[in-house]
A and B are shown apart, each in its own frame.
Chain A
Amino acid sequence: MTTPSTAPTKALLEIKGLTKEFGGLKAVNNFDMDIYPGELVGLIGPNGAGKTTVFNLITGIYVPTAGVIRFRDTKLIGFQPHEITQMGIARTFQNIRLFPNLTVLDNVRIAYHIHAGYGMFDAIVHNKNYDRHEKALTERAQEFLSVFNMHTRQGEIAKNLPYGEQRRLEIARALAASPQLLLLDEPAAGMNPKEVVELMDLIHFIRERFNLTILLIEHQMRVVMGICERITVMDFGEVIARGTPEAIQNDEKVIEAYLGRGAAALSQRLREKRSHVA
């Protein structure tokens, strides 16, 4: 992987001066971020720092108060969420949002709706065009599920799946919308350590397999430090640090934001002590 800051390629996603105010509260303030093709970037910060708001702004659920978001040189502001998905940005949600009463297969097939290839009339009369496209669509959804090793569960109702499988299905469904950029909102939330390891493997796998760029919000440091190449830290809606995982781990501002001023001072002292010893 090339180091992003010196990468000659153009940014896939470019965010400049992004601001969102809810009444008097600045949930996101002057947020900048560039994501280059093929990167895996982490966005971390304490609770309420505005991470999910950034996701909602990128995907068009909120309209920003100020700022610019560019995806492959297209300005995203003013587009509807479904249009942004069709442009190639897919996401998962912090609290899983599957279609709970539908089967695993239908969850994935819904993501293919935008490529269905037949109209309402074809559907109503069930003509040749419908048959052909519906069959192709179903086969593709099944093949797709088999990539995630879920093809044997195609008929199961989504809400009956175990938690880890639901996460996996949600990621699979997001990928079925054939995105170039995948936004994962706390994918490891509520997972046990074994599931977390599986998730990290899954993220590595999909990234290689689908040639993806990934932006990840995560609380579990193990995940973030383990897989991200670059991390942006937010607090109170502003970026307080950015850099490689190693740099972030030692950043005073980050420690202060996460653990408080006292802890920052303590870590400073510890570091001084260590340097004395050395």
Chain B
Amino acid sequence: MNTQRSTLIFWLVFLGFLILIQALIGTGLLSNFWATLLKIGAVMSIVSIGLNLIYGFNGQFSLGQWGFYAIGAYTAADITYRWTQLHNASGLVVVLLVVLLVSLAFFLVAKIVSRLRGLDALSAFTLYLIGLLIAAILAVMVGKGLIAPITNILNLLPAEWAIQIVFFLAVILGGCIAAEISYIFGLPVLTLGSDYFGIATLGFTIIVKVLLDNSDTLLGFTEMKGARGMVGIPKLTSWIWVAVFLIAVLVVTRNLLHSSHGRAMISVREDEIAAKAMGINVAQQKTITFVLGSFFAGLAGALYAHVNGFLHPNTFNFIKSFDPMIIVVFGGLGSVSGTVVAAFTWALVLEGLLRLVLPQGFETWRFVVYPLLLLIMMLLRPQGLFGAFEFPYLRQVLPRPFQPRELHQPPSPADEPLNNGA
């Protein structure tokens, strides 16, 4: 069948790309400079796919993506830093427990809130915040006892393996922390209209940046070194890792968008009132999308932290938060393929090629080129480079046209709902 063939082609192209780049890096044909840019391109693809879900598919204009990217980066960096520099799994254990207990707390609070009908958003937010704090304190207390045994278990493995496992878990946990924070932040903020939501999320990005500037004093994480920048993070992000995460994000996004849940998500963008009238829980759809988008941002941040082994709060400045926005708009709102192409173009051409082509001292011209390109784009092709176009596997195929059967009355939908149980 056609779908199966396009799926096969998609995977073959992906595997070919993965192996080709890996071979080029391995043989040294691709310089470190370009290898890093390819990794950055993949990382930017992941953040931007997350943003495209929120903005392009769900219609919520968010500038908070960069804040969640920062949270993911610092969380994961702290975990691997503690493993490599302090030789214990304290970061891993505590963050893992925080993630588990906080999700449990959110689950319990959600049960309570659904019982109390008509609770306003801010009161619900307060309940969630209390749950979050209790869970976090509990996690730290319980975690202290578990650090030593888990460190010992991980030390039983070969060091090479152990560090890769810690890294993998750190990336996932970076995403989870970003997702949990986005959930609690989204509760009151997602009830705002689209423009106000944009401003609130911009505020969030600024708060995160300021907190990171003072991470050693205000937050008490001395290893993050505040505005001096965090050093000593192991450079674990290989091309294979980013490619695997990128493909996972692509497949999850694609599968979700091709399902009823994806359609519900898109219906919110199309017309919120009509979506409500169709029985779709708009608030829930917005929250799910926002959390998933932030999860991707967290993953990307975690991967980014281990590319250069150095993190600085200035990377997470709100001005930079427009980068994923530019990529999404450039690639086409509502096109996953466009986002990936635009992200790689952004990394390879704007960050890479222009740096080489422009004479020494003229790199700053890049910041003239970005806005100009965006301006030209908006004038000539406001729907973005790809519009709503998707590559074969990512594209949704229309089902075969329906042939009405003769003398057969189709069952009436009013009589039998598809599924009575769920």
Contacts and interface: CB of A to CB of B under 8 A. Distances in A.
Contacts of B417: 115, 178
Contacts of B277: 59, 81, 85, 90-91, 93, 97, 174
Contacts of A140: 413, 418
B407 to A, nearest CB: 14
Interface stretch (B9-17, B26-34, B90-98, B263-271): B263-271
A139 B402 CA distance: 8
B4 interface: no
Contacts of A180: 414
A134 B3 CA distance: 15
A105 B399 CA distance: 9
A126 B274 CA distance: 28
Nearest to A127: B255
B118 interface: yes
Interface residues of B, number: 41
B260 interface: yes
A204 interface: no
A254 B114 CA distance: 46
B159 interface: no
A246 to B, nearest CB: 31
A33 interface: no
Contact of B279 (A82, A93, A147): A82
Contact of B271 (A99, A136, A211): A99
Given A80-B281, A154-B402, A61 B273 contact: yes
Contacts of B261: 113, 116, 120, 123
A210 B401 contact: no
A26 B171 CA distance: 57
B402 A146 contact: yes
A209 B402 CA distance: 20
Contact of B418 (A100, A133, A145, A175): A133
Interface string A110-142: 111111111110111110001001101111101
Among A80, A114, A139, the one with the most B-chain Cβ atoms within 10 Å of its Cβ is: A114
A140 to B, nearest CB: 6
Contact of B260 (A123, A146, A176, A179): A123
Contacts of A90: 277-278
Given A120-B288, A155-B398, A175 B270 contact: no
A105 B278 contact: no
Given A98-B271, A145-B402, A151-B402, A85 B413 contact: no
Contact of A138 (B281, B399, B411): B399
Contacts of B262: 123
A85 B276 contact: yes
Contacts of A105: 398-399
Contacts of A155: 398
Interface residues of A, number: 67
Interface in B305-342: none
A211 B418 contact: no
A106 interface: yes
A74 interface: no
Contact of B278 (A85, A100, A136): A85
B255 A123 contact: yes
A173 interface: yes
B364 interface: no
B117 interface: yes
B419 interface: yes
Contacts of A125: 255
B418 A154 contact: no
Contacts of B276: 61, 80-82, 85
B275 to A, nearest CB: 7
Nearest to A151: B402
Contacts of A265: none
A98 B252 contact: no
Interface of B: 117-118, 252, 255-256, 259-264, 266-267, 270-271, 273-282, 288, 388, 398-399, 401-402, 404, 410-414, 417-419, 422
